[in-house]
Structure 1
């Protein structure tokens, strides 16, 4: 597989072609399964047939380091098998050190030996993520991690984490389709998160409820009451109000990113780069940026304070009704704001963006249209993405039909814009050609002929259709001569008129 690198805000391959990565998350959070999804190579073949060219592949700290300084290479070998299956099917992989609620004691992530709750109680919310705001034990454990409290062997928890990543990076160093390292899934600030949440609640009380004196305990309780929460979410549909709420939380969230998260990323990245000099460092935001709080994320630096190469902005984005069936109050305007905010941060950082998680949809019929709307945002910003996530029933779900879409996997030149019309089954790609090969995945290549491929603006072009074995999907290859003006490739049925 071709080596990937970075050119400004673009991911490019070794031939200089601009690359769009589109795929899915694959992670097993279940300890009883050994943190490895039971599957075989046929799953990865199906991913390939769907046009997926990347997988965000989850690892769990508890699986990697079950005892302090003791690494489970048998577990890592099972993960390596999946990486090799991906490579056999021309799929890139980036590794995701996954956690939800920090620890295997509360969700998944850290081993028990790295979880210090000081005897505080753990509280489970109605929705799993509510525990971040409600559980004293969880927040204390996170505080100990961010403070680098020594484990029982005297080594700090963050130091253990960095050493664990170093072992992982070295173990997989021979896997040539690994492109990057997602250093921590959705970093949560611990007890500092109460301040972020508190600013949002206070702003809501003042903006919506007209309160001048805010009773934080009483207002917080409203959020954890399912019926009251739905009423609050309806109130947050007013975008003028919602912008006030997320703006109010920005400074508290960014303080965590600047003072706590940035040094953590620097330390972890140094450990990874000590054994693997290349590979993308995937930068995730604070948890609260998932909802449009603007991130203050900083680029990773080395010990000399120099910004290191090959970094990718990898935020997540979900509407506030995620993990529920309340699609009747799903708000596309909120979603648009989330990703517009991510775009603003990407432009400040001036690095490529890959949306590491989005979706988390159920089988509700509305998810087809919602997925198409999100993909149109990724098209607009020329972003890569990995959908959250592979699960039982994925193949039959409404949203999977949106994920199986035409897009330019590699553009031989500078990609200007592209759009796939699901109804017409036609994709248009505008780019300035460099003379290299453009590869467009189309879900029905087997039903097309060269007459269905039109190259407008180029004097000549070479066209080749490459259907996948036993599949309707495949690749359209176009080589157009180098030029200085934009040309347009149109692929699809019915037969297109020559322009």
Structure 2
């Protein structure tokens, strides 16, 4: 593993996402949001139809074994034009202050394959169950106390592990520890500095399905998530001002709770909830009787995007392919 070490400058934690005197300057014209839609540099409306790439990115070496031909198939055979490319904080910074340059090189190679295949890319800092210490993915082990991992009891299905007090405690630390937040911000800063010049990389999904920890769902997005997002966005936009901000609501949105994520004080914001149907996700497949419930959920998400002055992108949806009615 080729690594580099760098001193981490700890910046002050932004306590409010309200407008400030040092509001960001207007972005250079490029990919942008206007009238509730994603627009290309020529102002044309773009509907991103793509796939997540991929579950194999969740485990070491945090990349799939797909090659250039596989990327080309996504466009040629599936008719897709974009990918949500999963990246791992554990892959970027496997040890505190130690950055894996070889991993970043490998990401760059795959971004080239996506470019050659005609695919647009949104980089997604992924997490499931906080991180590796709980058998999930995302945060490296050093980000939380080892005793938390030792006390964790795996659950079935896996996502019930979010109820474990040890997982909850680690999320609390992510939201409240300025030093840990600075490490996360720096991981994004490095990605942005490395790949800002890639024309096919058009946006960054700050964090997959952020969990509220021990805080009440009510107020989490306003008091903790939005300030966290602001810190990341400012760092990324210093390096990659043309990238779209792809901001997910709290994972509580997956449970049916409306999002109260406030409007972020930046241009080019895309609101990106996940739209899983409860029956499909639980293995029951999809019944046409669920159509209206799904349609209603999508309307609610559209209204939430409108309230934020953002475009809408559904980052994940679906079910198990072999279940009835899914394909």
What TM-score do the two structures reach when normalised by structure 1? 0.56
Pick the aligned partner of 1:313 from 265, 268, 271. Answer: 271
Per the alignment, residue 290 of structure 1 pairs with 254
Q: Secondary structure at the match of 1:159?
A: helix
Per the alignment, residue 95 of structure 2 pairs with 67
Alignment deviations for residues 128-165 of structure 1 (CA, whole Å, 9 cap, x no partner): 111112x121111111111116xxxxxx1111100111
How far off its partner does 1:333 sit?
Answer: 3.8
2:39 pairs with 1:12:
yes
Q: CA contact under 8 A between 1:292 and 1:337: conserved in structure 2?
A: no
Q: CA contact under 8 A between 1:322 and 1:361: conserved in structure 2?
A: yes
How far off its partner does 1:37 sit?
Answer: 0.5
* Counterpart mapping for 1:64-463 below 5 A: 64-106=92-134, 107-116=136-145, 119=148, 121-133=151-163, 135-148=164-177, 156-192=179-215, 252-300=216-264, 307-327=265-285, 331-368=290-327
Aligned residues: 294
Question: What is the RMSD computed on CA atoms of the aligned residues?
Answer: 2.0
Q: CA contact under 8 A between 2:115 and 2:200: conserved in structure 1?
A: yes
Q: CA contact under 8 A between 1:179 and 1:280: conserved in structure 2?
A: yes
Q: CA contact under 8 A between 1:44 and 1:85: conserved in structure 2?
A: yes
Q: Secondary structure at the match of 1:25?
A: strand
**Long gaps (5+) in structure 2:** 1-28
Alignment deviations for residues 75-128 of structure 1 (CA, whole Å, 9 cap, x no partner): 111111111111112110010000000011110010010023654721222111
How far off its partner does 1:5 sit?
Answer: 2.2
**Long gaps (5+) in structure 1:** 150-155, 193-251, 301-306, 369-499
Q: Which has the higher strand share?
A: 1
1 or 2 for the larger relative contact order (CA 8 Å, sep ≥6)? 2
Query: Cα 1:268–1:328, aligned 2, differ >3 Å: closer, same or farther?
Result: closer
Q: CA contact under 8 A between 2:263 and 2:307: conserved in structure 1?
A: no
Per the alignment, residue 152 of structure 1 pairs with none
Alignment deviations for residues 285-312 of structure 1 (CA, whole Å, 9 cap, x no partner): 0001123311011232xxxxxx211111
- State the 4+ residue runs in structure 1 displaced beyond 6 angstroms: none
Query: Cα 1:274–1:3, aligned 2, differ >3 Å: closer, same or farther?
Result: closer
